[in-house]
Amino acid sequence: MGDLFSALADVFTSPTMYSSAVRLGGFLAFAAMGELVAEKAGTINISVEGSLLAGAFTGAVGYTIADGAGISGAGAVWFGLAAGVFGGVLVALIQANMSHRLTADQFVVGLTANVLVLGLAGYLSANMDLVTHRAEVIEIPLLVDIPLLGPAFFGQTWPTYLLYPLIPLTWWLLYKTRWGLELRAVGENPQAADVSGIDVNKRRRQAIYYMGILAGLGGAFLVVGQVGTYDTGAVGGRGFIAIAAVYFGGWRLGGVLLGVFVFGLADAFRLAVPVLGYQLNAQFLAALPYVITLVVMFFITKAYRQPMALSRPFIRGLR
């Protein structure tokens, strides 16, 4: 136990820890924001995992195509990111239309979509030669000099900075537009929303499309903006952490982002501990993000209120 505490103290005062936390949690922030919007409208969108992986795969394909066509550097990265959005939205289309047009069970559809994407990405990538490179690191002057946190938030690869405008955009969409108001109404009380003339299932589908855009972007960002190589196991269940982050954050944008950062820290901690020469149980550290989420959920879910109609399908005339 003593080891744990001195490791904690050492690790949390090193700036590299925060840098790798942002690096490891960055792609999850995209996905978690999208998931938040989907859940605000009433869907627990398990296929966020599939959207992430689809984005990663199509992103890598997009980059490869652009690279083959002679576009290199930032241009190819942009191309990859756009392709990633396309992939993420494809999965969202399946999830949205199966669960909110045909009213098939959303969890069944989500789980199946995940299996489908995992199989497709694995099958197709085995038959392809994917060439990807990491985007450039750009340091934002002045801000990067902030002690401890500066390099973490302002000394990353340039696609990381796409995240920053998306945060206020998501907030504005959710809380300051009519669309966002209707979307939240649909997640709280679909019967009332329906009576006042909102097409409930349409809003829910749109919320899932938004999730698809963001998660696809996040997946592509993971490949072309962060790691630099494609691997079908790259997402490997971390999409579920995005869902956990939404619970962790109590369905508030700030809380969700904090949740993602905490998971990033836990992940970074796992990697930093052996480097600093401490002996801590590797399995315990790998399980840490999940344990933290479960513990937090145990203590928090009563304090925060989830959207009332979360995971309940809406069929007019049936409650």
Partner 1 sequence: MTDLATEPAEIEAAPAEPSRWRTGLEWAVLYVLSIAGALVISAGLVAVTGNSWQKVFGALLDGAFLAEGRWGNTLTVAAPLLLVALGMVVGVKAGLFNIGQEGQLLMGAMAMAFVGTKLAGPGPVLLVLGLVMGVVAGGAYAGIAGVMKYRRNVPEVISTLLLVFIAYQIVGYAITTDWFLRDTDPDRPSRAVTSAIMPEGIRLPVIRMFGNEFPIGFVIAVILAFVVAFVLVRTVWGFRFRLLGSNPKVAQKMGIAANRTGGMALFISGGFAGLAGAIMLAGGSSGFRLTTGFATNIGWQGLLVALVAGSNALASIVVAILFAALRTGSGFLASTGVDRKIVDVVQALLVLALLIPPAVMFVRRRRKALAMADEEIDLANEEER
Binding track, positions 78-97, relative to partner 1; x by CB under 8 A:
----------------x---
Q: What distance in Å separates the CA atoms of residue 104 and residue 224, rounded to the nearest whole number?
A: 35
Residue 308 binding partner 1, by CB under 8 A: no
The correct pick among 107, 171, 179, 278 for binding partner 1 (CB under 8 A) is: 107
Residue whose tokens read 């990807």:
132
CB of 306 to partner 1, least distance (A): 8
Using CB under 8 A as the binding criterion, the count of chain residues that bind partner 1 stands at 50
Paired tokens of 163: 């995240």
Q: Is 319 in the site for partner 1 (CB under 8 A)?
A: no
Applying CB under 8 A, which part among 27-35, 168-176, 203-211, 276-284 lies near partner 1? 276-284
Q: How far out from the chain centre does Cα 289 lie? A: 15
Query: 208 to 237, contacts with partner 1 by CB under 8 A?
Result: 237
Quick check: 131 and 64 in contact, CB under 8 A? yes
13 binds partner 1 (CB under 8 A): no
Of 113 and 186, nearer to partner 1 (C-beta) is: 113
Q: Quick check: 111 binds partner 1 (CB under 8 A)?
A: yes
Measured from the CB of residue 305, what is the shortest distance to partner 1 in angstroms?
10
Q: Is 316 in the site for partner 1 (CB under 8 A)?
A: yes
Phi, psi of 5 (to 5 degrees): -70, -40
271 binds partner 1 per the rule CB under 8 A: no
| Window 170-209: contact mask with partner 1 (x via CB under 8 A) | ----------------------------------------
- Residue of 244, 265, 266, 272 that binds partner 1 (CB under 8 A): 244
Q: Using CB under 8 A, which of 4, 74, 108, 275 touches partner 1? A: 108
Closest distance to partner 1 from the beta carbon of 264 (Å): 16
> Which residues form the interface with partner 1 (CB under 8 A)?
44, 46, 94, 98, 101-105, 107-109, 111-113, 115-116, 118-120, 122-124, 126-127, 237, 240, 243-244, 247, 281-284, 286-287, 290-291, 293-294, 297-299, 301-302, 311, 315-318
